[in-house]
Structure 1
Amino acid sequence: MRDGWRRVALGEILKLRSERTHFAGTLLSVTADRGVIRQSESGRRDSSSADKSLYWDVHSGDIVYNTMRMWQGVSGVALESGIVSPAYTVCEPTGDVSSSFLRWLLKEPRLVSKFLNRSQGLVSDTWNLKYSEFKKIQVSLPPLVEQRKIAEILDDFDAQISRERNILIKELTASRGIVAELLCRAVKEASRWSSIDSEFNIQAGVTMGPDRSPNSSTCGYLRVANVQKGFIDSSEITELEMRDGDLERWGLQADDLLVVEGHASPHEIGRCARVDKGSAGLLYQNHLFRLRAISMIPSFGEIWLNSQYARSYWLKRCSTSSGLYTINSKLLGSMPVPVVSKGWQDKIVAIGEKVEDSKDKSLQNIEKLQSLKLSIVNDLLSGSVRVPVAD
């Protein structure tokens, strides 16, 4: 064991909190990308029970994980007190341990694989990691001061990535007003109307489950979080276990379009991004649709699917189940799309491409930061690279 590090069971540093005093009434939720947040900020419809007597108390600094999705590493640190559904497990950090460090440790891929192995259930929809199994898992723990320094370094990477992403979104937003005006003029001059399924081939993505956890033959795949409005965010690519025929069926090509099929917010349903060369060869998950152009210019199709016309179409038609808004391939294929001249398509696309250089620069910065973070996160969490700290 490295100097100062110790081997402990998770149960030694994370004690099960089984309180129902409801001293704080804020309803919290655990998300894969944002950790523990207020349910009201999740964008989901509140589908919680009116009777919350069985909901668990959460204290600020507690670790909360989704009992049925811990095999995917869905956990986070509570930044405020509140209550959560019985579908979650609440743990209180004890001893010399930092909640900020645990936030990173509990998402480490090799540890998440152990969560998968300890999860119980007949099918993937019922797989759950009970605390009785969670507490037995062994981890390596550095001294408290080193934990805090590691968390500080990794948190700083995330802050830099977030700043770059916000710059990119502002750049894209600046061009959309002009594009919307030109699109309105083009629609008025459209020779006729077609439909998405007449202009593109539509293909749903890979269904995820425990059997797709990366093992011996892995491939990166795009999730809903990677598909933003007008660009692919490749700062964090997740891997899955690849099978024969996957690339032929779900392999992405440059200029394919990806459309979001399910989201907590109805305003994000159907958002679209064109696949760039850097993402070609990846797969994509089942909450995305792939559109491969038949006749329409892909860049114009991306602009149309992100337009206010498409947004109005989805707001009238998307449905919700358990707080998640969804669309289907039939509705997507039926969406009307104007058939405008190539000249109009080129003119509209050209405006959008004026920000391509700055967009590419921002994406490159994000990818470099993410690559650097991934290259050190395992070294820091395993102790193979030590962090210098003051005595």
Structure 2
Amino acid sequence: MSEKRNVPKLRFPDFSGSWSNKKLEDSFVSSRKKGSEGQPIYSVSQSKGLVPRDSLERVIQQDAKAEQNLLVESGDIAYNMMRMWQGAYGVSETTCMVSPAYVVVKPKKNNLSIFFSYLFERSRSRYLFTIYSHGLTLDRLRLYPNDFLSIPVASPSLPEQQKIAEFLTAVDRRIELLQYKKEKLEAYKKGVMQKIFAKKLRFKADDGSEFPDWEEKKLGEVGKTFNGLTGKSKENFGKGKPYIQYKQIFDSSEIKIEGFGLVEVSENEFQSKVQKGDVFFTTSSETPREIGMASVLTNDVREVYLNSFCFGYRPNSIEKLLPEFSRYFFRSPIVRKGIVKLAQGSTRYNMSKVELMRLSFEIPSPKEQLKIAKFLTSLDRSIENLNQQINHTQTWKKGLLQKMFV
């Protein structure tokens, strides 16, 4: 029974036999050796592992003197004892120093830190880090070195550790490459949107002819506003008719119809119903930068309503202001700049519908709108394809972590 439990479900054919039951003290030793003046200072990040401290966006107070910092050598693992249960650790690839508030452990002979770093990613390991920590609440948990070293683990021979680590490192490289491609494509899209809506990049008709000049119009000339639900209490939500939720609008330039909420609406109530081509705006935010985020309904719907904390904008004609174009237009840099200026408040910011309708913007002809929309939609599809590949690979890796370890 013990032998069966100590064999992973997924294993390279070169290896056989049971993994050894150990404690982490059999594989690591705690180190409080001090660093030296001039050595780079690193920090532990939950998302990035061990990274140069000055590469982090957050401001870190430098209380410790250089000679008080802990030495970390290549292959060592440093972890934040208050956040180890959340995965705040990293394997060092160089000689550096970390804050004395961290814990540094060195691998013993025939133990590979990279292998253990993948072992630590497993949900079982995170659970053990939690129960071996001391503290009354999660935000006060601390995994002290002696408790860390007393945690039970099962590990194979060094050659099998190396094989597993090499394979999972290749999987991580694949994820990193996909994330890099996605970031580059998102940056390209952002840059090209700036050029399109500043008219530095113009499209041509299929026959090569120029499109007409863009026409400047006030939003109030192109459409009109309408309110969301009124007279509703929390008891009315959770069943009934579909309605567009605040988060649907804030999170995306296009309404995802699978995200509708439900609200009770009786037949004799007068409530505004939404339709294809409508644009929805958030009216309140914690920062001016997030005021007036817009999202467009690009699908035909039957009976759908709008939440109480947003308002709608209905173009006079969706043949003249295409829904496919609107989703990009109302989130373009030039339109966002105009909307942000409308933010009023000190701790909570609000926006006036009346003032929004007074804003003027240049709008291209419907045929050029379609060209712009098709181009930007193709970029979004490519970004979404990369995102799906990333999610698929990350899910695959999670499965590997459960099957390749004991």
Give the structure-1-normalised TM-score.
0.62
Please give the alpha-carbon distance, in whole angstroms, between the structure 1 residues aligned to 2:75 and 2:396.
Answer: 28
Q: Is the 8 A contact 1:14 1:93 kept in 2?
A: yes
Please give the alpha-carbon distance, in whole angstroms, between the structure 2 residues aligned to 1:31 and 1:187.
Answer: 48
1:5 alignment counterpart: 19
Among 100, 108, 130, which residue is 2:144 paired with? 130
Percent identity between the two aligned chains: 23
State the 1:370 CA deviation. 2.0
What RMSD, in angstroms, separates the aligned Cα atoms of the two structures? 4.5
Among 353, 357, 372, which residue is 2:381 paired with? 357
Worse overlay, 49-58 or 126-135: 49-58
State the 1:362 CA deviation. 1.8
Among 39, 60, 70, which residue is 1:25 paired with? 39
State the 1:6 CA deviation. 0.5
Indicate whether 1:121 and 2:139 are aligned.
no
Indicate whether 1:373 and 2:402 are aligned.
no
Gaps of 5+ in 1: 202-244, 246-251, 259-271, 282-288, 315-327, 383-391
Once the two structures are superposed, the pairs formed by residues 32-181 of structure 1 within 5 Å of their partners are: 32-49=46-63, 51-181=65-195
Q: Deviations over 1:47-83 (max 9, x none)?
A: 3226334321111110011111111121110111111
Please give the alpha-carbon distance, in whole angstroms, between the structure 1 residues aligned to 2:112 and 2:163.
Answer: 10
Q: Deviations over 1:330-354 (max 9, x none)?
A: 36989x9868679799886554212
Q: Deviations over 1:3-30 (max 9, x none)?
A: 1410111122121111114266211011
1:76 alignment partner, SS class: strand
State the 1:114 CA deviation. 1.2
Alignment coverage as a number of residue pairs? 297
Worse overlay, 295-304 or 48-57: 295-304
Q: Is the 8 A contact 1:300 1:348 kept in 2?
A: no
What code does the residue aligned with 2:348 have?
K
Worse overlay, 49-58 or 89-98: 49-58
- Change beyond 3 A, Cα 1:277–1:118: farther
Q: Is the 8 A contact 1:68 1:126 kept in 2?
A: yes
- Change beyond 3 A, Cα 1:26–1:359: same
What code does the residue aligned with 2:405 have?
L
Q: Is the 8 A contact 1:4 1:143 kept in 2?
A: no
Indicate whether 1:191 and 2:184 are aligned.
no
Gaps of 5+ in 2: 8-16, 200-212, 229-237, 239-244, 262-289, 296-309, 314-322, 341-345
State the 1:108 CA deviation. 1.1
Give the structure-2-normalised TM-score.
0.60
2:348 alignment counterpart: 330
Please give the alpha-carbon distance, in whole angstroms, between the structure 1 residues aligned to 2:134 and 2:177.
Answer: 39
Q: Which has the larger radius of gyration?
A: 2
Please give the alpha-carbon distance, in whole angstroms, between the structure 2 residues aligned to 1:149 and 1:358.
Answer: 34
State the 1:376 CA deviation. 1.6
1:354 alignment partner, SS class: helix
Please give the alpha-carbon distance, in whole angstroms, between the structure 2 residues aligned to 1:6 and 1:280.
Answer: 52
